[in-house]
């Protein structure tokens, strides 16, 4: 039976050891709550680090931990002190965390961190394969385990693997700093479904994947190897009613009564882990200015900073703690009176009842991270306002993922000191009716997309993409089909082999002249053309001189410029259609305009066509210009006997009298072949596939819609198949 296997750096149960005694604490974080509320009854397992270094426990204790955790549905993975230092504090929190939160100057790129990161990801992989079956659904979480999807994919090629990143995915300009950017992207792409909190992160990820790994996406789906991978946004929600109804809980009520002694004092709360991405210092400075500019608020407002200790072993965090404490001390020293302290500072984690009570009594929540993947505190605060008589209002940073769902809060740029100061005043002075109006809209949204809904949505989409993959792989020229074809080839006496050249026999290069045949393909062509049972034909859009020079020494037929010229195997050229080229005078200036506007692009002239190439141009600009050039051409060429075609990084305008389909009729039209194989990668090859008799095996190289019977991913896969024929 299929199970859900959750994998995260930390387990939802953590183990600690005090005075030689082990104790277990469940931390029902957001994700665990979401998973617990799934309606699907299938069994669940959770794998991760329980929080103790293996150097701190002996064998007997490790066994005890395993046994106890097993009873709670968890599998522990123990880390050594060195792993914690280099994998967790090091690569995860000193390399990835700052870089992905746009603090690139804090990022340190050290080989020993990277090596341990790889090792720990591998250890997770080795452990997990002992526990899973191919039917299980695997959901891997966060930036500590970005290599794991790829590692697991290698061991279990058909596994259902989802990956969710809880932090921002930054722009390509930052990702390119990372010396191991390719490995990280390939690791993530081992998943079938990759999820982020926000569409902006999806965009950044797809753009990095395109620029670094070269995979192009179509509507957020891309092909990696022979797998379809989907990338999508799943904004994580909260356990809404737990917060919205918290006021009715006696323990929360008791806490509220504890706090509410001075009804005159307006309360601003700030709740986060103590982290430089959270903007705590900037908040304090804004509050300082607010107090300076608004003396009438002295004694009437209080800011409560609740900072949860976090990553205390990382220097930046220790330094930030000092800075915050000095700043709090300075502001309190400057403004405090005998009966008023402007800032209360709590450096600790609060239990749920105390935190919920604060959410329930605060007038303002000041949540202004400099960058944040989502920020759940903002959502929790808004939920807690639902049943309040006088509701509080949220000031939220536009740099938090949550800002796209909480647009009715006071959204500010946390780097804009003036706006932050003004927002504090506006929030305190906003009429209750207005606070309620804004909160209501946000509450409605949050109550719909809860954390349970989030988990369900992600897992449903994972299933969908797996089903879609199955459908898309039926078209692949899989081992079984290839074996059948090889057998037919071996017994055939008369065989016709038709190949496109660029992107089919050889991969694409930045410049067309770089795509000359390498030794491997020359060897394959030599063997194929030496067999008297074979007729090999290469049909290409290229000009005749180039192909003659590259492969003309073999006894094969050549059809060039999409059928304009034909050479039989004896080397004699014939022209198929008389060129009619007046249209080029109209098209060339348009292409020239786009060459000027698109650095790296250029024009290639062939007898029957003009081609605008943009393979060397900046990819996103090339995409945009391709659409523009096509639009310009379609309007201007509608009265001419020419067609405009978009190919792989090209736009080609050609005489529609010349096409590859017509040009192969001479060969394919004859019905005395025992075996016909035809391969091509481009839109122009579709004419060829359509003109083939039914018994032919046609094969598209690469993705995209096609009339071919089968598909292979690359020229290298085609070469492997051709080698199996000749061997
Ligand atoms: P965090 O950076 O930890 O999480 P956030 O989402 O705000 O940020 O907080 C997570 C949880 O911590 C919240 O549920 C909150 O209640 C709790 N918490 C915060 N302060 C607390 C305190 N003083 N005492 C007790 N509990 C406290 C990362 C990403 C975020 C992303 C989450 C989830 O950095 O951007 O929203 O994962 O994906």
At residue 262 the predicted structure's pLDDT band, cuts being 50, 70 and 90, is confident
Average pLDDT over residues 566-592: 83
Contacts (Cβ under 8 Å, ≥6 apart) of 229: 189, 191, 192, 193, 194, 221, 222, 223, 465
Write the pLDDT tens digit of every residue in 279-296.
Answer: 999 999 999 999 999 999
Nearest CA to ligand 1 atom 37: 166
Radius of gyration of the chain (CA): 32
Look up residue 154 and give its two tokens. Answer: 């290698």
Distances (CA, A) of 667 to 431, 498, 517, 608, 677: 83, 9, 24, 22, 12
Nearest CA to ligand 1 atom 17: 377
Residue of 96, 688, 450 whose CA lies nearest to 697: 688
User: For position 63, what pLDDT does the model report?
Assistant: 93
Nearest CA to ligand 1 atom 19: 272
Q: Ligand 1 pocket check: which of 10, 103, 273, 277 to mutate, most ligand atoms within 8 Å of Cβ?
A: 273
Of 530-544, 566-580, 618-632, the poorest mean pLDDT is in 566-580
Atom of ligand 1 nearest to the CA of 372: 35
User: For position 517, what pLDDT does the model report?
Assistant: 96
Of 35-49, 77-91, 443-457, the poorest mean pLDDT is in 35-49
Q: Ligand 1 pocket check: which of 99, 237, 280, 375 to mutate, most ligand atoms within 8 Å of Cβ?
A: 375
User: For position 578, what pLDDT does the model report?
Assistant: 63
Look up residue 538 and give its two tokens. Answer: 């290469």
User: For position 28, what pLDDT does the model report?
Assistant: 59
Nearest CA to ligand 1 atom 8: 375
Write the pLDDT tens digit of every residue in 603-630.
Answer: 999 878 899 999 888 888 888 889 888 8
CA of 41 relative to ligand 1 center, distance in Å:
28
Residue 2 DSSP SS3:
coil
Q: Is the pLDDT of residue 402 over 60?
A: yes
Nearest CA to ligand 1 atom 22: 349
At residue 458 the predicted structure's pLDDT band, cuts being 50, 70 and 90, is very high
User: For position 472, what pLDDT does the model report?
Assistant: 61
Q: Is the pLDDT of residue 73 over 60?
A: yes
Higher pLDDT, 380 or 669: 380
Residues of the chain with pLDDT > 90, as a percent, come to 68
Atom of ligand 1 nearest to the CA of 351: 25
Determine whether 40 is an active site residue. no
CA of 47 relative to ligand 1 center, distance in Å:
21
Residues of the chain with pLDDT > 70, as a percent, come to 97
CA of 29 relative to ligand 1 center, distance in Å:
9
Cα–Cα dist 598/589, whole Å:
14
In 143-279, alpha helices (H): 148-155, 172-175, 181-188, 199-208, 240-244, 250-259
Mean pLDDT of the chain: 91
Nearest CA to ligand 1 atom 27: 349
CA of 235 relative to ligand 1 center, distance in Å:
14
Residue from 275, 372, 500, 687 carrying the catalytic annotation: 500
Cα–Cα dist 236/225, whole Å:
30
Sign of CA pseudo-dihedral 536, 542, 548, 549: negative
Q: Which residues line ligand 1 (CB under 6 A)?
A: 30, 166-167, 236, 271-273, 306, 308, 349-350, 355, 372-377, 380
What is the CA angle 460-461-464, rounded to 5? 95
Distances (CA, A) of 16 to 9, 138, 229: 16, 27, 39
pTM, rounded to two decimals? 0.77
Cα–Cα dist 688/566, whole Å:
15
CA of 333 relative to ligand 1 center, distance in Å:
30
The residue written with tokens 């965090």 in the block is 317
CA of 585 relative to ligand 1 center, distance in Å:
64
């Amino acid at each position: 039976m299929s199970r859900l296997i959750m994998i995260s750096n930390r387990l939802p149960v953590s183990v600690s050891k005090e005075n030689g005694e082990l104790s277990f604490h469940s931390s029902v974080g957001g994700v665990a709550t979401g998973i617990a509320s799934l309606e699907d009854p299938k069994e669940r397992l959770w794998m991760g680090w329980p929080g103790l270094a293996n150097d701190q426990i002996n064998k007997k204790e490790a066994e005890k931990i395993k046994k106890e955790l097993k009873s709670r549905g968890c599998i522990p993975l123990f880390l050594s002190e060195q792993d914690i230092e280099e994998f967790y504090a090091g690569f995860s929190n000193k390399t990835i965390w700052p870089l992905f939160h746009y603090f690139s100057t804090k990022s340190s790129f050290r080989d020993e961190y990277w090596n341990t990161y790889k090792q720990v990801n591998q250890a997770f992989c080795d452990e997990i394969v002992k526990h899973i079956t191919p039917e299980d659904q695997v959901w891997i979480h966060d930036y500590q385990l970005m290599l794991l999807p790829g590692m697991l994919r290698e061991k279990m090629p058909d596994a259902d693997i989802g990956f969710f990143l809880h932090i921002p995915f930054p722009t390509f300009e930052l990702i390119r700093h990372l010396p191991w950017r390719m490995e990280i992207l390939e690791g993530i792409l081992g998943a079938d479904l990759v999820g982020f909190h926000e569409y902006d992160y999806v965009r950044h990820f797809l753009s990095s994947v395109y620029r670094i790994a070269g995979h192009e996406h179509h509507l957020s789906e891309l092909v990696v190897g022979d797998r379809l991978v989907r990338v999508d946004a799943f904004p994580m929600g909260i356990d809404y009613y737990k917060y919205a109804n918290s006021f009715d809980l006696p323990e929360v009520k008791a806490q509220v009564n504890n706090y509410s002694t001075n009804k005159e004092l307006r309360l601003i709360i700030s709740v986060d882990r103590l982290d430089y991405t959270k903007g705590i210092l900037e908040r304090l400075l804004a509050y300082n200015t607010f107090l300076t500019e608004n003396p009438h608020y002295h004694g009437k407002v209080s800011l409560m900073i609740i900072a949860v200790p976090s990553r205390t072993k990382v220097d930046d965090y220790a330094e930030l703690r000092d800075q915050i404490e000095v700043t709090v001390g300075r502001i309190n020293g400057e403004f405090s009176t005998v009966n008023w302290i402007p800032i209360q500072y709590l450096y600790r984690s609060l239990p749920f009842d105390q935190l919920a009570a604060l959410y329930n009594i605060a007038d303002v929540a000041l949540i202004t991270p400099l960058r944040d993947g989502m920020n759940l505190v903002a959502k929790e605060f808004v939920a807690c306002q639902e049943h309040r008589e006088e509701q509080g209002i949220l000031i939220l940073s536009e740099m938090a993922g949550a800002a796209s769902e909480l647009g009715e809060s006071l959204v500010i740029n946390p780097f804009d000191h003036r706006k932050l100061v003004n927002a504090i005043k506006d929030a305190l002075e906003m009429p209750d009716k207005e606070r309620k109006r804004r909160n209501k809209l946000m509450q409605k949204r949050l109550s719909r997309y809860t954390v349970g809904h989030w988990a369900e949505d992600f897992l449903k989409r994972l299933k969908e993409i797996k089903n879609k993959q199955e459908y898309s792989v039926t078209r692949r020229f899989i081992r079984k089909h290839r074996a059948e074809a090889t057998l037919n080839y071996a017994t055939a006496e008369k065989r016709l082999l038709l190949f496109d050249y660029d992107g089919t026999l050889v991969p694409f290069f930045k410049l067309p002249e770089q795509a000359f045949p390498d030794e491997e393909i020359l060897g394959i062509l030599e063997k194929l053309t030496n067999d008297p049972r074979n007729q090999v034909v290469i049909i290409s859009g290229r000009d005749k001189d180039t192909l003659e020079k590259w492969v003309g020494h073999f006894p094969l037929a050549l059809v060039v410029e999409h059928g304009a010229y034909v050479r039989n195997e004896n080397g004699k050229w014939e022209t198929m259609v008389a060129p009619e080229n007046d249209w080029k005078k109209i098209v060339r200036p348009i292409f020239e305009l786009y060459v000027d506007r698109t650095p790296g692009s250029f024009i290639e002239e062939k007898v029957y066509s003009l081609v605008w190439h943009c393979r060397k141009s900046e990819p996103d600009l090339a995409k945009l210009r391709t659409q523009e050039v096509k639009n310009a051409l379609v309007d201007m060429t509608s009265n001419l006997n020419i067609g405009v075609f978009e190919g792989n990084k090209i736009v080609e305008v050609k005489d529609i009298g010349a096409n590859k389909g017509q040009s192969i009729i001479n060969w394919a039209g004859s019905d005395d072949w025992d075996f016909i194989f035809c391969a091509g990668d481009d839109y122009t090859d579709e004419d060829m596939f359509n003109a083939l008799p039914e018994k032919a095996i046609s094969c598209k190289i690469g993705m995209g819609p096609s009339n071919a019977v089968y598909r292979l991913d690359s020229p290298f896969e085609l070469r492997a198949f051709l080698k199996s024929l000749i061997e």
